[in-house]
Every structure is written in C-alpha cells, then in structure tokens.
Structure 1
Amino acid sequence: MAFQILLNLLIAFAWVNFQHSYTSVDFLVGYIIGIFILFFLRRFMKFDFYMRRVWALIKLAVLFFVELIKANIDVLRVVLKPKLDNQPGIIAVPTKLTTDWEVSLLAALISLTPGTLSMDFSQDGKYIYVHALDIPNKEQMVRDIHDTFERAIMEVTRGNV
C-alpha cells in the first residue's frame, strides 16, 4: 500500500512538471489521474488497490460518528427519564479480530461511544469485557458490535469482510 501511495505521488509530481504549473489544483488533478492509472494497473500487477482501504477508513469514521450520535441520544433518553429503569451490565463480547491493534481499536471505539466502556480483555484476546449503561438484550448488543465496528475494522485492516 505504501508503494502505491508513493507511486501515486510520483505521478502527481510528474503531472505538475509536465504542465509547468506548480499549483495545488494541478497537483490534485495529477493525483486523481494517478488514482485512475493505479486502478487500471491493478489488473496487471499483483496488488490490492489502496483506495479501497482509504474508502473503508472513511466509512469507518462515518460509522463511528453515526453510532456516536445514536449513543448520545440513548444516554440522553436514559438520563431524562423520570423513572430510572435502565439495565446496566457487563457483557463479554467475542471478537474475530486477531491483531492487538485491531482489538485495541475496537475497544477504543466502544469506549468512545457514550454509555459503553471497554473494561478488560481476556487472556487470549478473544473477548472484550464491556460495561454498558443499558442492556435490554445482550445478544443484540453483541450482534450490533459485530455488524458495525468489527466488520468495518476488518474491512480497513484486511481489505475484506
């Protein structure tokens, strides 16, 4: 992936030099041309197109902000209820993520959403213990974590789902 970014930057610099116009707009045009060149070269070379992972990273950021807004609304709903009938609890969330970086990113994303807190990891790293402010259905919460954050992290780090 780093080689592709470097190659894309070299194409952008070559474009700027061929145009004899050293502006950021010309550099951006050259960079976009480089993206298209690399996209078409991916069939002839043995590499995964790096913009797929960049797009997956953008989708992960958007997903996080959507989940952040939804979690804030849920916490606000719990706090503003006249009767406190939430069901707090600790659940063990199994994960398919293998590297420490992936598991740590999942734990950070869980902790950054209001109402949830990653407390600990299992010894083998296959479970994350999560405290939640309101857990009406444990299986649904685990499924939501798998379908949102875990899937998006695997798409960014592995390029597939």
Structure 2
Amino acid sequence: MTYFLLNLFLALVWMLINAGYNGLDFVIGFMVSFLALALSQPFGLDTSYFKRVKAAFVLFFYFLYEVIVSVARVVWDVITPTHLSEPDIVYVPLDAKSDLEITLLANMVSLTPGSLSLDVSEDKKFLIIHAMFAPDHTKVIEDIKSGLEKKLLEVTRD
C-alpha cells in the first residue's frame, strides 16, 4: 500500500511540474513514477505491489480480448441465418472467497457479451451463469476458471 500511495503522489507531482491537469498527464506520471519506483526499490525487499500492477494490466488486456472475441461471436450468431447458440445455465465453482473477488468476477462475466451472472450460491461456492454458447459445461467452466478468475485472483491476492 505504501508503494501505491507513493506512486499516486509522484504522479500528482508530475502533473504539477508539467502544469498538465488532465487524465493523460496523470497516466503518464503514474507510469513514469511506477518505473522509477520499480528501478529504485531496495534489493531484497519483496513487495507484491509491482506484481499486482503487472497482473492488473494482464487482466485488463485479457478482459478486453475476451470482450472483443465475445462481441464478434454474438454478432456472427445474430447476422447469420443459422443460430449457433446453445444457451444454458452453468454452475461455476469458485476459488474466489471474498465478496470483492466474487463481485468483480461476476461483473466481468456479465460485461462479456453472451454471458450473464445470475446469482451466487448461499455458501458462496458457485457462481450461477447464463451462457449463450454452452454446448459443453466443462469448457465454459474451464474458460472462466483458467481465464478471468485466475487472473483476477493474481491481482487481489499476494
């Protein structure tokens, strides 16, 4: 948390020095200060901050890729005369334990076209999803667990 606050502070200092008070200057300042902090951290000091920031970027681009692929798949199914969709309800077992992790995963699933988070089981062990393309439940479960959930847990856990 200390590195994150220091990174934010240095990004704001960057904005003040450059007299640029917009989002782009903040992002540039954040990236420059992140690089400076990563290069100047004491050797042997193990911190999860740099791993988490990297994991967050990986998650963002993976999620963006998943959205683009899902949009193309749904659009193709809508514009072609034959429908390839096989909708079904899928119960995905969760490794995510905290409410934040479950909420983020459910929202990312819902934001991906062709899938919708319906509910979480009472014991918080299953995420109930409506999938537009679910001919094989194990493939849908594996895609979510090895993709979104795994990358999300790399961000939220040490």
TM category (shorter chain) comes to 0.7 to 0.9
Q: 1:34 aligned to 2:40?
A: no
Any conservation in 2 of the 1:8–1:35 contact (CA below 8 Å)? no
SS in 1 for 2:134: coil
Task: Give me the TM-score of the superposition, normalised by structure 2.
Answer: 0.80
Task: Give me the TM-score of the superposition, normalised by structure 1.
Answer: 0.79
Q: 1:81 aligned to 2:80?
A: yes
Instruction: Describe the shift of the 1:59–1:42 C-alpha distance in structure 2 as closer, same or farther (beyond 3 A).
Output: same
Instruction: Describe the shift of the 1:97–1:83 C-alpha distance in structure 2 as closer, same or farther (beyond 3 A).
Output: same
Q: How far off is 1:5 after superposition?
A: 2.7
Q: 1:119 aligned to 2:122?
A: no
Any conservation in 2 of the 1:88–1:133 contact (CA below 8 Å)? yes
Q: How far off is 1:80 after superposition?
A: 2.1
2:142 is matched with 143
Cα offsets for 1:78-125 (capped at 9, x unmatched): 212312352111010111011000011000000000010000110011
**Which piece of structure 1 moves more, 73-82 or 148-157?**
73-82
**Which piece of structure 1 moves more, 110-119 or 77-86?**
77-86
Ranges in structure 2 where 5+ consecutive residues have no aligned partner:
20-24
SS in 1 for 2:91: strand
What's the C-alpha RMSD, in Å, of the aligned pairs?
A: 2.8
* Cα distance in 2 between the residues matched to 1:13 and 1:86: 48
